[in-house]
Amino acid sequence: MQHAPKKNSVVTCFLSSEWVKPTEIHRRMEVQYGDACLSLQQVYEWTRKFMNGFSSVTDSPRPGQAHGVVTSEAIAAVEGILKDNRRVTVNETAAHLDMSHGSAHHTVHDVLQIKNI
């Protein structure tokens, strides 16, 4: 189950706001999610966070994790290069624009939705 951890934290947030004890939250989630359930310790940690005012159920950025920011200028630059030469590679595009291979790949394939490059 791909989104089980996020669902688990949403369920934990909701039930802890109704003052359900962590052991009961964990028991309910085990029934619903089986092996994809958070551990009891994780349920206790999430419950503590939510009871102390934490409200986000998404993961926080971790050290070393890339920031996925692709500016409109970068998108326009990649698009311009591809209009000039449809046979250019992602590596050549990245080198020409001084951006990472991952950013160039994301811009070409995900943002511009160009599959054959």
Concatenate the DSSP letters of all residues of 49-83 into one string.
HHHTT----SPPP-TTPPP----HHHHHHHHHHHH
Q: What pLDDT digit, counting tens, does each position of 103-115 carry?
A: 888 889 888 888 8
Q: What is the reported pLDDT for 81?
A: 92
Compute the mean pLDDT over every residue in the chain, rounded to the nearest whole number. 83
Distance CA 1, CA 89 (A): 35
